[in-house]
Amino acid sequence: MAAAAAAIALTVPAIAGYLDAKYHLLTDLHLISSLAFCRIQCAIREKRDRLHPFYVLEEHAQKFPERTWLWFQGKEYSYKQGYEAVIRHGNWFRDECGVKKGDIIAIDFMNCPEMIFIWMGLWAVGGIPAFYNYNLTGDALVHVVKVSTAKLAIVGHRVEETVGVKKQINEALPEVNVVIFDEALENTVANWRMDRPEDELLSGAKLADMAALVYTSGTTGLPKPAIVTWWKNTGASKFVALWLKLNPGKDRYYTAMPIYHSSAALFNIMACLQVGATSCIGEKFSNRTFWPEVRASGSTVLQYVGETCRYLLTAPPSPDDRNHNVTKAFGNGLRGDVWKEFRDRFGIQTIGEFYAATEGMSATWNMNTGDWGIGAVGVAGALVNLMQGSKTAIVDIDYETEEIWRDPATGFCKKVPNGERGEMIFKLDENDISASYKGYYKNEKASMSKLLRDVFKKGDVWFRTGDVLTVTNDGLIYFNDRIGDTYRWKSENVSTMEVSNAINSHPRKVVLDSAVFGVPLPNLDGNAGVACVVLHPEVKEDQATFDELLTYLQKSLPRYALPLFIRVIGEVERTGNNKVVKGGLRKQGVDPEKTAGQAGGVWWLKDGKYQLFTNNDWSEIKAGRVKL
């Protein structure tokens, strides 16, 4: 009997380990239990009319008043101090600006505690904040103000000093009251009355109601205001905290990502608030201040977005690279070519990568601690597929039209097999689309453009992500590209991210940064690949460099994916979330008249090697005398 019991004791863990490795049971159970808990708690709070985050802040201020809520530039704010600041700001808005329940108020701030007090203060008196990108000027600035319908804009003094917002807004929209929150006004509000807002200002919040407006990043046009619901502010943000296993009494969570975007607003500030953890805030991302602030704040978790981690790796190695308390990094956009290097150099054990969209209603998640799953934006095991498989699909795309492919006979779409690329789409309830999808504020055309109907059967409705992803047989989900970033050349679909990763992965770090896209050429079919690159300062723009780069790329990419043109530029433009902006570069293309006078030249793949692209070469292409 003893021998049998011992055999069972050895066998059961082995079988459990095998099943977990094959079907990702523990990974799925953690994700599903975290989500289920949040949904149940939100439903209870909604029923009790205590869904509003103000109640969460109030509860924390009462239970652990001295615990740190916010850290900023060496100063700490307790939950009690934050709670009182929120009330004072809310009362000032009501008393001095006449803010009423349901009013949309613009917030144009760099990251700072004052921005959060204003945001929560507006919520406390029933206002709805609209977060503006503090880098916007001119037509783009006027556009975001106008489409939000805000009649009051609260602007940080640092933004006003840098951009001059007040004059720009009032010249185009004189009816908008622009209030500059300078030091004098901050002092006034800090001493305002402390009467707690009445419950009727907070009551009636439903999970599907609008809580805030957060703008898209603007990489493909003017920013659009996405409606962010109370579910995302309460349930989704708490899910992130639980999925990350944030310990309220120990974890301090650092972000230098802009709070005007949902990643920092929801998945740092709100996530910490929901569980009573500490948010550590950097004013904005900088290689110079990032690690010193992480160390000074004692942060144990950090947030990244886009190419943040690649930027951090461009700094010279330092003996202090591992001198920090961080055990987890969480975010989206960490590419596979820098994933392991980032983790190894800075000694961060766990990478939590996700994929989602501000206006979307679902996401994918990957908690990575080893070599398996590097570069994946999600892991879907047997349990997740059982529960969510019918609500998520990856479908075939017609890359010529950038539309989802439909069968000529049936008109329906086609799911791609595992391992093949396609657009990820999410199922909506066709009988109540607005229950989970809110779209863009007062922009029905843009909102409807994200919906796909009659996909697999008559009458069904799905949400288009506009992103190309791949699912492997073992449940890993990989992000490939935005659809507009996947171009067609030589009858093949080329992923700009694949090309960019190959260029950036050169072992000698010839290229520090790159932006890849396809451009049409006169008299030629398809789109030719263009790689705009930032060369390392110690690398010369000469034939030897481009010969070396070509040799490496030929080993890393299929022949059809080799960029036909490489253009040397000074820097790659990025949004505040470190996402590449390609619109201007794409418009310039390789036309010598549009690229002249830039940081470097344009090289093209001709006769088996990269050569300088001349005006005469361009004339030959326009005349149709070049075969590529």
Residues 6+ apart with CB under 8 A from 374: 336, 339, 340, 368
Q: What are 260-283's pLDDT values in tens digits? A: 999 999 999 999 999 999 999 999
Q: Are strands 364-368 and 378-379 parallel, antiparallel or unpaired?
A: unpaired
Range of the structural domain that residue 413 is part of: 383-481
Provide the residue type at 463 as one letter: F
The residues that bridge with 424 in the sheet, in sequence order, are 394
Residues 368 and 388 in one domain: no
Residues 499 and 476 in one domain: no
Residue 8 lies inside a defined structural domain of this protein? no
Contact 612, 554 (CB under 8 A): no
Residue 65 lies inside a defined structural domain of this protein? yes
Residues 205 and 336 in one domain: yes
Give the rounded percent of residues in the chain with a pLDDT score beyond 90: 70
Q: Which helix (H) or strand (E) holds 100?
A: none
Residues 459 and 571 in one domain: no
User: Which of the listed residues 355, 379, 403 is the one where a domain comes to its end?
Assistant: 379
Distance of CA 496 to the CA centre of its chain: 18
Q: Is the pLDDT of residue 103 over 60?
A: yes
User: Which of the listed residues 455, 481, 507 is the one where a domain comes to its end?
Assistant: 481
In angstroms, rounded to a whole number, what is the distance separating the alpha carbons of residues 507 and 27?
A: 34
Choose between 624 and 342: higher pLDDT. Answer: 342
Task: Please state the domain count of the chain.
Answer: 3
Q: Is the pLDDT of residue 130 over 70?
A: yes
In angstroms, rounded to a whole number, what is the distance separating the alpha carbons of residues 417 and 485?
A: 22
Coil, helix or strand at residue 512:
strand
The CA–CA distances, whole Å, from 611 to 114, 242, 550, 619 equal 53, 54, 11, 16
| Environment class of 148 (CB within 10 Å of its CB; exposed 0-12, middle 13-18, buried 19+) | buried
Residue 9 lies inside a defined structural domain of this protein? no
Mean local confidence (pLDDT), 353-363: 85
Residue 4 lies inside a defined structural domain of this protein? no
Q: Is the pLDDT of residue 12 over 50?
A: no
Q: What are 222-240's pLDDT values in tens digits? A: 789 999 999 999 999 999 9
Residue 7 lies inside a defined structural domain of this protein? no
* CA-based end-to-end distance of the chain: 76
User: Which of the listed residues 379, 404, 427 is the one where a domain comes to its end?
Assistant: 379
pLDDT at 128: 97
Contact 159, 108 (CB under 8 A): yes
Contact 295, 74 (CB under 8 A): no
Q: What pTM value is reported for the model?
A: 0.83
Residue 20 lies inside a defined structural domain of this protein? no
Q: Which helix (H) or strand (E) holds 537?
A: none
Residues 400 and 475 in one domain: yes
Residues 403 and 320 in one domain: no
3-state secondary structure string across 454-495? CCCCCCCEEEEEEEEEEECCCCEEEEEEEHHHEEEECCEEEE
Q: CATH code at 541? A: 3.30.300.30
Instruction: Count Cβ atoms below 10 Å from residue 344 Cβ, excluding itself.
Output: 11
3-state secondary structure string across 349-362? CEEEEEECCCCCCC
pLDDT at 219: 54
Query: Which region holds residue 279: left if phi is over 0, alpha if psi is between -120 and 50, else beta?
Result: beta
Residue 579 lies inside a defined structural domain of this protein? yes
Residues 121 and 186 in one domain: yes
Residues 6+ apart with CB under 8 A from 96: none
Length of the chain: 628
Residues 72 and 177 in one domain: yes
Residues 305 and 438 in one domain: no
Residues 458 and 563 in one domain: no
Residues 6+ apart with CB under 8 A from 595: 567, 588, 589, 602
Q: CATH code at 122? A: 3.40.50.12780
Instruction: Count Cβ atoms below 10 Å from residue 450 Cβ, excluding itself.
Output: 18
Residues 334 and 240 in one domain: yes
Provide the residue type at 518 as one letter: G
Query: Mind giving me the DSSP string for 404-424?
Result: E-B-TTT--B-BPPTTS-EEE
Q: Which helix (H) or strand (E) holds 602?
A: strand 602-606
Residue 499 lies inside a defined structural domain of this protein? yes
Q: What are 192-225's pLDDT values in tens digits? A: 999 999 999 999 999 999 999 999 866 556 789 9
Q: CATH code at 431? A: 2.30.38.10
Contact 487, 412 (CB under 8 A): no
- Comparing C-alpha atoms, which of 576, 550, 561, 469 is closest to residue 516? 561
The CA–CA distances, whole Å, from 364 to 32, 328, 427, 462 equal 12, 18, 14, 17
pLDDT at 20: 67
Residues 373 and 399 in one domain: no
Q: What are 152-193's pLDDT values in tens digits? A: 999 999 999 988 999 999 999 999 999 999 999 999 999 999
